[in-house]
Amino acid sequence: MLGLTKRDFGLMVVVAILALAAPFILNPFPQGSAMAQFNAGYPDLMQRLVIFGILAIGFNILFGLTGYLSFGHAAFLGVGSYAAIWMMKLLTMNVIPAIIVSVLVAGLFSLVVGWISLRRSGIYFSILTLAFAQMSYALAYSVLTPITGGETGLQPKTSDPRILDGALPAGQSPSANLFGFNMSDTSVLRLGDWSFNFNTGYYLAAVIMLIVFYLSIRIFRSPFGMMLRAVKSNQQRMNYTGLNSKPYTLAAFVISGMYAGLAGGLLVAMDTQVGAERMFWTASGEIVLMTILGGAGTLIGPVLGAGFIKYMENIVSKINKTVLEQWFAFLPDGIEDLLITLVYPFVGKGWHLTLGLLFMLVVIFLPGGLVEGGQRIGKLFRRKKTDTTTKTPPAE
């Protein structure tokens, strides 16, 4: 269906259900209960989950398929964000032009960067992309301040022209909308102790995520995707057969740059402000982390990785000492104190430590990421099952 095999279509449906029902799934605990802090069903986090999912899907098209490790993808995210915010300042607060322009501008920028960087491969490619990203960051911070707002960044102001919008009613600040539907509008459904948030911005992002996820499945299964995989497995042999691999890798680079631009545009659509720090190279590193953690080269992996990291980031960094004390309150005092001192460095402000450790463990033991982990567990069970079936004597 839709040009997908049965299996891919099944995957697509599962992702669609997960994305559309996320406000329910991410809010499994009733409000006010001790577990409520594990709820992730608030608009801001849900938006981030899908937006970074888009980013990771795009990065995966480059890294997962061609094996080119780019350390500069945050630059495309940033460029897309700046393009989007300028559309909002100049044209209209409607998010459609902002998102479209952010994709186009990021695409153009990645075309330039890719055209130069792809002359080299391996670690040189990583360092070239890193150099470009750091350059963009430094420029956005210093010289390009008239365009980027420098340290303060950019946000829409009441004094902006916005030629397509009418004048704002007095006392109202401009807010991003989609044909009048405000991005930050949230309707709350209360069922007993539970409350579920349905946010306009989230659903816009989720629908876009589904579209680009579908696109990425099509790319993975297309002859073009096959070419990209050939680049990863043996570029030399591919060149010897008379194929020029450059157009393919460049196309993959530009596509993944456009995905990053789209994510940047969406970030602005949800939260109308941009700062240069989202182009810093640690941000690029985070994109790599998400993709690897989920499983590079798999369809669902990057989405899982992005969701996992953003969820953990929000939830783990909220845990502080009092929360820990509540958790371990049932234990005897000595053990309680010991456990708290042991766990405390890893939660709250120590979230990055946990992330770093987790990342190292994944690279060392599970190079295929969470997806490979799932497959291994699945295989474990399946093998047991086949073992028992072969051992059972045939019924007479």
Partner 1 sequence: MDAILLQILNGLDKGSAYALIALGLTLIFGTLGVVNFAHGALFMIGAFCAVTFTNLLTWSHVVIDDTRKDFLGNPMKVDVPYIIDWFGKETGEALIDWAVPLSILFAIPVMIAIGFIMERGLIKHFYKRPHADQILVTFGLAIVLQEVIKYFYGANPIPTPAPAVFAGSFDFGAMLGFDPNTIIYPYWRLIYFAFSALIIGAVFAFLQFTTFGMVVRAGMADRETVGLLGINIDKRFTIMFGIAAAVAGLAGVMYAPINSPNYNMGMDFLVLSFVVVVVGGMGSLGGAVLAGFLLGILESFASMAVVLEFIPGINQIIIYLVAIIILLTRPRGLMGRAGVMED
DSSP classification of residue 347 = S
Distance of alpha carbon 261 from alpha carbon 75, whole angstroms: 9
Contact stretch for partner 1 (CB under 8 A) within 48-56, 136-144, 154-162, 297-305: 136-144
Distance of alpha carbon 274 from alpha carbon 152, whole angstroms: 9
From 12, 355, 370, 371, residue interacting with partner 1 (rule: CB under 8 A): 355
Name the 3-class secondary structure at 51: helix
In 181-280, where does DSSP find H-type helix? 200-221, 223-240, 246-270
- Minimum distance, C-beta of residue 127 to partner 1, in the bound complex (Å): 5
Contact stretch for partner 1 (CB under 8 A) within 4-12, 126-134, 215-223, 297-305: 126-134
The answer to whether 89 and 162 have CB atoms below 8 angstroms apart is yes
Q: Which of residues 358-377 bind partner 1 (CB under 8 A)?
A: 359-360, 363-364, 367
- Minimum distance, C-beta of residue 356 to partner 1, in the bound complex (Å): 3
Nearer to partner 1 by C-beta: 143 or 164? 143
- Minimum distance, C-beta of residue 140 to partner 1, in the bound complex (Å): 10
From 81, 134, 155, 256, residue interacting with partner 1 (rule: CB under 8 A): 134
Query: Phi and psi of 320, rounded to 5°?
Result: -125, -170
Q: Which residue has the tokens 């009048």?
A: 180
Nearer to partner 1 by C-beta: 349 or 385? 349
From 135, 215, 243, 366, residue interacting with partner 1 (rule: CB under 8 A): 135
The answer to whether 126 and 269 have CB atoms below 8 angstroms apart is no
- Minimum distance, C-beta of residue 319 to partner 1, in the bound complex (Å): 15
147 binds partner 1 (CB under 8 A): no
Name the 3-class secondary structure at 154: strand
139 binds partner 1 (CB under 8 A): yes
| 261-275 per-residue burial string, b: 16 or more CB within 10 A, e: under 16 | bbbbbbbbbbbbebb
Give the CA radius of gyration of the chain.
23
Tokens of 206: 């989720």
- Minimum distance, C-beta of residue 345 to partner 1, in the bound complex (Å): 5
Distinct helix (H) and strand (E) counts, the chain? 16, 4
Distance of alpha carbon 90 from alpha carbon 15, whole angstroms: 36
- Minimum distance, C-beta of residue 147 to partner 1, in the bound complex (Å): 12
Cα torsion 353, 355, 357, 363 to 10°: value is: -150
From 75, 255, 288, 303, residue interacting with partner 1 (rule: CB under 8 A): 288
126 binds partner 1 (CB under 8 A): yes
Task: Count Cβ atoms within 10 A of the Cβ of residue 287 and give its class: 0-12 exposed, 13-18 middle, 19 or more buried.
Answer: buried
Cα-based angle 43, 48, 49 (whole degrees, multiple of 5): 100
Contact stretch for partner 1 (CB under 8 A) within 129-137, 163-171, 206-214, 265-273: 129-137
Q: Which of residues 5-44 bind partner 1 (CB under 8 A)?
A: none
- Minimum distance, C-beta of residue 367 to partner 1, in the bound complex (Å): 6
Tokens of 377: 């567990």
Contact stretch for partner 1 (CB under 8 A) within 15-23, 141-149, 203-211, 240-248: 141-149
- Minimum distance, C-beta of residue 284 to partner 1, in the bound complex (Å): 11
Contact stretch for partner 1 (CB under 8 A) within 26-34, 189-197, 331-339, 356-364: 356-364
- Minimum distance, C-beta of residue 391 to partner 1, in the bound complex (Å): 37
Return residues touching partner 1 (CB under 8 A). 67, 69, 116, 119-124, 126-128, 130-132, 134-135, 138-139, 141-144, 281-282, 285, 288, 292, 345, 350, 352-353, 355-357, 359-360, 363-364, 367
